[in-house]
Each structure stands twice: as C-alpha cells, then as structure tokens.
Amino acid sequence: MSDPRSQIPSIDALLASPGAERLLEDTGRSQLADAFRDAVVKMRRAIEREDIKIVELVDDLKWYTEHAAQVLIRARIPGLRRVINATGVVLHTNLGRAPLADEALQAMRHAATYSNLEFNLHEGVRGSRYTHCVDLLCELTGAEDALVSNNAAGALVLAISTVGLGKSVAVSRGELVEIGGGFRIPDVLERSGASLVEVGSTNRTRSADYESAAARGEVTAILKVHRSNFRITGFTEEVSVSQLVSIGESHGIPVVHDLGSGLMLRGAKLDLPDEPMASDSIAAGADAVVVSGDKLLGGPQAGIIVGRREMIERMRRNPLCRALRVDKVTLAGLEATLRLYRDPVSVIERIPTLRMLALKPEALKETAETLASHLKIAKVPCEVVPTKGAVGGGTYPGVELDSWAVELTWPHGAGILSDALRAGDTPVVGRIIDEKLRLDVRTLLPGELTSVVTQVAEAFIEGDKAGV
C-alpha cells in the first residue's frame, strides 16, 4: 500500500487549481500559498494520527481549497475586535475597561486626522499638547495645573521620578500594593529612580511614623497610595492626606497621592460607597494627585496628574514626560469626556460607565425579561435570574452590584456554548456559573440586545454541531 503522503498535491499544483483562481480574486499569491501550506500541514498531521475521514481526501483539491479559504477568512479578522460584555463587570480590564461616550468617540474620530495637537491656531505658531485638557481638569478638581500622560502607571513613574530621583520616598507598609499585571509599588519606585522607605506596619500606620522618618532626614517625599483594589479591616489605622501635607510642610517635602480610580462624582450618586476624589486630595493640599482616565472617570486610557503649578511644571520638564506623552486621539476623547462632567445632571446618562453603575435592579430585571422573551422566540431555552456583578478595574473591592441576568441551559455543557458565543461575528462574553452560561444585562450597551439574540441563536446552532 502506497504512503498517502505521496498523494499530497504540491503547492504549485494547488495554486494552479480552479479553486485557487477564485481565491486569488480576493488575496495575493503569496498569502494563498501560505494558506495552502497550512492545509498541507493539516493533512500530514491527519495522516500521522490516522484520521481516516481526512486522509481519504488526501488527493481532493477541493478539500485543500476549502481549508485555505477558511485560513484566509481567519487572517482577515482584526486582532482587536469589538465584543459584547455580558459579564456584569463594568470596568472589565480584559475587555478594555470603560466604554466611551458617544461624544468621546466622535471627538477621537475627528482628531484622528490632522489636528491642532501642537499648533496654536490663534497665533499661528507651534503649541503644546500639554495645554489640552488642563483648564477642564483644573476646573473639575480645583488644581492649579494638570498634565496628561499615556496611563496612570506612567503618570506615577513621572511624578516619583520628578520628586524622588536619587532620593528616598516614604510609603506606608499597608500601601505597598500590587497595581495589576504583577507591577508593585516598590518596583515602580525603583524604576522611577527613588529608594523606598517603609513606614508603619501593614495594618496600622500613624502620623508619628512619617514624622519620625522625616525628622531623621530619611525621606524627601511622601507617597500615599489609595488601596483601591483591596481592603484592610479590623485593627487598622492610616494617615489622611491632610495630615501628610502638614508633615510635608513642616519638613519641606512634597506629598504625592496615587488615587487610582479617577471618580469625579460622589459615590452616593451611583448608590456606591464613598470613594476619595482628586478634588478632595487637592483641597487637602496634596502637591500632586495621580488618577486613571479609563476607570471610574469613564474615558480613554490615560494618566492624569493634577496639583500645584510648580510641581506640574517640573514634571513637564522631566525627560520622561516625552517618553510617556499621550496621543492626540486619547487627548480628544479625554477632553470630550471631561466636558460632560460640567453638567452633573446629565453626565450619568451620557457616560456609559456611570450609567451602568447607576442602573436600578428593577430596570435591569425588565431588560433581562425582554432579552429572555426574544431568546425564547428564537427557541433558546433560558430563564431570568438574579445575579451579582462588580465594578471592576481594581475599584470598589468587595462591593457587589445587584443585577439580573438571562441564564442559558444547554445539554452539551456551558463551556462549548461559551466557546461558540465567543466565536461569533460579534463575540459575546458571559460567565459560567453552576454549569450554566449567564448573561448579565447591566453591562450591555444600548442597541446590543438584538445583536445578543442573534449571536446566541447562532451559537446554539454551532454549539449543537460541536457538542453532538
């Protein structure tokens, strides 16, 4: 019996086949050749594992053409794609955190062409990208000046490099946090060129601990880090920003507050616990406050620093500022988002993150029932269930959001159904709980309900194929 590998067509023969001519209408010859090579590799592996269903097609040119066509289709799918978030986690880091307001999206599209990023339109001379958003940030936080960098971690590096390069920075042991992705405050300080002076203990740090370190001349700056992604409870004590400012003023050392979330509304307006805001830290006298643009602020990824004019100006002159500078599209989206905060009445409805957080359980239940009714018409077995969501993005640790979801039941397993949903034209990401796939409606954007019904119905069909 002859070796089936000898019957595998050559790449030249495949490129000369009738099926290849059709594929060449939409792709280049080299890309098609690579796709055929992928098909040949798949056939060789099928021969090695004795997969009879595939091996019996070893000399079928149509099989290779169909496989190559699928490879080319997959290659055209963008790596970064829009997905529908049905997890109930509002600021889902894996899904890009804050969805942007329509105003921000429009501003970013306009700025993506030529813009006055570094051009003064009034005077017709070179301008600075660091003037954009400054007035709005100062207006909203009460700061003297502001600076925007590419992200919050970069902003913290820039701030510490400015006040602590070659010097020592005091941080409470209870605030030596990991900020995500394995990055820890001690590592950030080291990369910023500063040395760490730990004060206090994990659960209790007092004013006297900072005062003692400052009096001994051990520190030349104080960093306070908001524990936004975890809580310490019980026998605890920490020092307020105003107390740290008093210590700093006594010894002539600056105070930097790494606040994190960027919330610009009182938590009560969103039915959430109170969280410190940048305006609070500025009012308390902090020299610089660092916040994120893509968390509770609801804008694009950016690192925002607000504070005293002299301090911010020093940061602008820091060589790292250029390395961490923000893009024009981000600036446009951030500016549009900040403008919405000028109207505290409408801002919650205009910024998707705030709107999702403010949704009431009764409204969510109604949405879930509407989704379920459409799915049942599409012959999808489901039921409406209460569930718990989360704010996400390293904010509000331990706070659960009461919500409602549609729970999908499928005999072949929730995992296969979840895979089929993620493989759709518009991937839908839910959560598997007790072997059922749950779609939390809190994180659905306006207009996504119809798309969810379509994707779920198609996923049930594909899931049935894979599960049988």
How do the domains of the chain map onto residue ranges? 4-76, 84-92+355-467, 102-350
Tell me the CATH number for domain 102-350: 3.40.640.10
Dihedral over Cα of 229, 234, 238, 240: its sign:
positive
**What residues contact 232, with CB distance under 8 A and at least 6 apart?**
174, 202, 203
Mind listing the pLDDT tens digit for each residue in 276-320? 999 999 999 999 999 999 999 999 999 999 999 999 999 999 999
| Band of pLDDT at residue 464, cut at 50, 70 and 90 | low
For range 372-378, the mean pLDDT = 94
* Band of residue 185 on the pLDDT scale cut at 50, 70, 90: confident
Q: Retrieve residue 50's tokens.
A: 């004795």
Confidence of residue 369 (pLDDT cuts 50, 70, 90): very high
Q: CA of 381: how far to CAs of 86, 155, 388, 420, in Å?
A: 17, 49, 21, 16
Q: How confident is the model at residue 463 (pLDDT cuts 50, 70, 90)?
A: low
Average pLDDT over residues 147-152: 94
Please give the torsion angle defined by the CA atoms of residues 334, 339, 345 and 347, in that order, rounded to the nearest 10 degrees.
-20
Any idea what DSSP says for residue 67? H
Backbone angles phi and psi of 428, in degrees to 5: -115, 125
Compute the distance between CA of residue 55 and CA of residue 43 in angstroms, rounded to an integer. 7
Average pLDDT over residues 27-54: 92
Has residue 231 got a pLDDT over 90?
no
The predicted structure's pLDDT at residue 78:
85
Q: Do residues 362 and 415 make contact, with C-beta atoms less than 8 angstroms apart?
A: no
Instruction: Yes or no: say if 321 and 315 are a contact pair by the CB < 8 Å rule.
Output: yes
Q: In the predicted model, is pLDDT for residue 467 greater than 60? A: no
29 band by pLDDT with thresholds 50, 70 and 90: very high
pLDDT higher than threshold 90 for residue 191: no
**According to the model, what pLDDT value does residue 468 have?**
46
Q: Is 142 in contact with 372 (CB distance < 8 Å)?
A: no
For residues 55 and 393, what is the distance between their CA atoms, to the nearest angstrom?
49
Tracing tokens 């989360």 back to the chain, one arrives at 390
Mean pLDDT of 119-131: 91
Distance of CA 293 to the CA centre of its chain: 10
pLDDT in tens, 130-141: 999 999 999 999
What 8-state DSSP symbol labels residue 151? -
Q: Which of 197, 223, 227 has the alpha carbon at shortest distance from 212?
A: 197
Helix, coil or strand: residue 377 = helix
**15 residue type, one letter:** L
Query: Helix/strand/coil (H, E, C) string of 168-186?
Result: EEEEEHHHCCEEECCEEHH
Spell out the alpha helix ranges (H) of 5-60: 11-15, 18-23, 29-48, 52-55
In this prediction, residue 466 carries a pLDDT of 54
Alpha helices per DSSP H over 383-437: 414-422
pLDDT at 160: 94
Query: Under CATH, what is the fold of the domain 84-92+355-467?
Result: Aspartate Aminotransferase, domain 1 (3.90.1150)
Buried b (16+ CB within 10 A) or exposed e, 284-306: bbbbbbbbbbbbbbbbbbbbbbb
How far is the CA of 238 from the CAs of 108, 199, 229, 260, in angstroms? 41, 11, 16, 18
Task: Quote the CA–CA distance of 463 and 371 in Å, as a whole number.
Answer: 20
Q: Model-level pTM?
A: 0.88
Burial zone of 239 (CB within 10 Å; 0-12 exposed, 13-18 middle, 19+ buried) = buried
Closest CA relative to residue 456, chosen from 70, 69, 86: 86
Question: Which whole-number Å values give the CA distances from 82 to 77, 167, 175, 329, 441, in the listed order?
Answer: 11, 45, 36, 18, 17
Q: Helix or strand or coil: residue 393?
A: coil
User: Shortest CA distance to 431 belongs to which of 413, 407, 411?
Assistant: 407
Q: Mutual orientation of helices 61-76 and 29-48 as an angle, nearest 10°?
A: 120
Asked, colleague to colleague, whether 84-92+355-467 and 102-350 share their fold, the answer is: no
Among residues 255, 251, 323, 263, which one has the least CA distance to residue 293?
263
> Residue 121: what residue type?
L
What is the per-residue pLDDT for 302?
96
The structure tokens listed for 426 are 């518009």
SS3 270: helix
Average pLDDT value for residue range 340-359: 96
CA-nearest of 79, 81, 65 to 27 is: 65
